[in-house]
């Protein structure tokens, strides 16, 4: 009778909502095994045996027959969240025509065509192209954790939309980048996937394009910011001052490598692979900028000018925290000021160059932008690189900044 009462008690507990804490507390049955149905993912069950082993399984009809497909043993590497994710992936794959319970050579080959397993070939295909590091970063941070283990030909536009929506809740602009990167991946992958008819990103939802920003920091704000940078530690002090002096993009500065700098010629060459527009860009270095670079010390064997502490082969990261500190420092000195971002420094430099009389086409050349005067047919036939004009412009801009720092009120 005691065994029957215990079995009845187990049956009552089948209806409880599963959590990792509750799973850890489940007692083993006296004999046989008992299953607990998950209330979130249909077909997902936790099987508890008389030995105390707790295993996640998926009960799903495959080819007209009910199958029990093992997901994994409950533990540090396979919690409830992991089991639910894997179960959803299996359900999607089964409904797309796959049979994960069969271990034939053909099914193993098909199973290998996951987003994660196809990524190395895709990155090799893009090798040498611009912003390849950004592509890999977005996949590793945003895409692989969500759909990396999914069969690439089972991902739907709904899956993409849910992924993009999740990123958009914290970073709308980044969400658009995620969608664009995934769409480019599927453009490459389509000829390699027999069962996929179209790019699932094509009609997926995405956040609207952000409004163009027009924030420009005043000379006084820049001077106070420059002063506040003196209280920061490296790499922020030198890197952000280079942003102010050169007008280059944040990632171009933070991922800069020592080999790109020729201090004798006083130039910085940003290779096409790192430039946003895919064109090699030569940045003349003012005495002010050169002085910053020459004072930097190399970190071990890292090739980066500003290596990340935890991963020296990568450029520094953590922009949001330092940006918040700098905003606070500027407001402490000037009172309330309009919200600004590090990228606004690039627009500030462009505006400042125009204000001191630098021609538009020279300003665009300094920023490595192909727009305005260099767009269209002019850009096709105009091959003059404005090297001397760029140097004069950045020297003049550095003089303005030095003067503003010396005489700020």
Interatomic CA distance for residues 33 and 38, integer angstroms: 16
| Residues 313, 229 share a domain | yes
Which domain-ending residue is among 80, 100, 120? Answer: 100
Q: What is the pLDDT of residue 139?
A: 93
Which of 217, 409, 213, 230 is CA-nearest to residue 329?
230
For residue range 197-248, what is the model confidence (pLDDT) as tens digits? 899 998 888 887 767 778 899 989 999 999 999 998 888 999 999 999 999 9
Least confident of 183-187, 285-289, 381-385: 381-385
Is 318 a domain residue? Answer: yes
Could you tell me the CATH number of the domain that includes residue 235? Answer: 1.10.443.10
Residue 408 has a pLDDT of 52
CATH of the domain at 175: 1.10.150
Is the same domain home to 50 and 117? no
Residue 94 confidence class, pLDDT cut points 50, 70, 90: confident
Asked whether residue 233 falls in the same domain as residue 371, the answer is yes
pLDDT of amino acid 228:
92
Q: Residue 236 domain-assigned?
A: yes
Q: Tell me, yes or no, whether 204 lies in a domain.
A: no
CATH of the domain at 87: 3.30.160.390
Same domain, 56 and 187: no
Task: Quote the pLDDT of residue 31.
Answer: 84
Residues with Cβ within 8 Å of 271's Cβ and at least 6 positions away in sequence, in order, are: 260, 280
Q: Which of 38-52, 328-342, 382-396 bottoms out in mean pLDDT, i.e. has the lowest? A: 382-396
- Does residue 73 sit in the same domain as residue 156? no
Q: Are 180 and 229 in a shared domain?
A: no
* Pair 48, 118 in one domain: no
Same domain, 120 and 171: yes
Which of these ranges, 164-168, 233-237, 271-275, 382-386, has the smallest mean pLDDT?
Answer: 382-386
Contact call for residues 368 and 281 (beta carbons, < 8 A): yes
Please tell me the predicted confidence (pLDDT) of residue 302.
87
Q: What is the mean pLDDT of the chain?
A: 84
Residue 106 located in a structural domain: no
CB 246 within 8 A of CB 363: no
Distances from the Cα of 307 to the Cα of 51, 232, 236, 317, angstroms: 51, 16, 11, 9
pLDDT at 181: 93
Work out how many domains the chain is built from and give that number: 3
Q: Is residue 214 part of a domain?
A: no
CB 100 within 8 Å of CB 111: yes
Span 286-341, pLDDT tens digits: 999 999 999 998 877 889 999 888 788 887 777 778 888 999 999 999 988 888 88
**Co-location of 242 and 333 in the same domain:** yes
Last residue of a domain, one of 100, 129, 161: 100
Asked if 67 and 60 count as a contact pair (C-beta separation under 8 A), the reply is: yes
φ/ψ of residue 41, rounded to 5: -110, 115
Residues spanned by the domain of 19? 2-100
55 with 129, same domain: the answer is no
Q: Is 65 exposed, middle or buried (0-12, 13-18, 19+ CB in 10 A)?
A: exposed
């Amino acid at each position: 009778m005691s065994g029957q009462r215990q079995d009845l008690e187990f049956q009552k507990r089948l209806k409880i909502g599963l959590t990792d804490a509750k799973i850890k507390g489940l007692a083993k049955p006296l004999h046989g095994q008992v299953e607990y149905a998950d209330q979130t993912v249909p077909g997902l069950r936790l099987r508890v045996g008389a030995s105390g082993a707790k295993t996640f399984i998926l009960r799903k009809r495959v080819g007209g027959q009910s199958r029990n497909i093992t997901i994994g043993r409950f533990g540090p590497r396979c919690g409830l969240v992991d089991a639910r994710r894997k179960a959803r992936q299996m359900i999607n794959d089964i409904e797309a025509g796959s049979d994960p319970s069969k271990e034939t050579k053909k099914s193993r080959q098909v199973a290998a065509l996951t987003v994660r397993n196809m990524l190395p070939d895709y990155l090799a295909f893009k090798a040498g192209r611009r912003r390849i590091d950004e592509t890999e970063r977005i996949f590793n941070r945003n895409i692989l954790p969500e759909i990396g283990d999914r069969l690439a030909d089972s991902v739907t536009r709904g899956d993409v939309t849910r992924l993009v929506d999740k990123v958009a809740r914290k970073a709308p602009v980044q969400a658009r980048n995620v969608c664009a990167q995934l769409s480019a991946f599927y453009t490459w992958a389509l000829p390699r996937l027999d069962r996929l008819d179209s790019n699932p990103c094509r009609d997926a939802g995405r956040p609207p394009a952000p409004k163009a920003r027009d924030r420009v920091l005043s000379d006084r704000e820049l001077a106070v910011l420059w002063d506040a940078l003196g209280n920061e530690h490296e790499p922020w002090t030198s890197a952000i001052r280079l942003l102010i002096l050169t007008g280059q993009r944040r990632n171009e500065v933070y991922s800069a490598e020592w080999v790109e700098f020729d201090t004798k010629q006083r130039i910085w060459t940003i290779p096409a692979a790192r430039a946003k527009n895919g064109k090699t860009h030569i940045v003349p270095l003012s005495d002010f900028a050169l002085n910053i670079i020459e004072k930097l010390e190399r970190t071990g064997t890292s090739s980066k000018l500003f290596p990340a502490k935890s991963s020296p082969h990568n450029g520094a990261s953590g922009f949001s925290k330092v940006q918040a500190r700098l905003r606070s420092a500027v407001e402490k000195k000037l009172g309330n000021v309009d919200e600004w971002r590090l990228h606004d420094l690039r627009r500030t430099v462009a505006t400042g160059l125009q204000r001191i009389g630098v021609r538009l086409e020279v300003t665009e050349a300094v920023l490595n932008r192909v727009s305005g005067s260099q767009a269209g047919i002019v850009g096709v036939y105009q091959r003059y690189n404005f090297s001397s004009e760029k140097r004069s412009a950045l020297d003049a801009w550095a003089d303005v900044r030095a003067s503003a720092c010396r005489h700020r009120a």
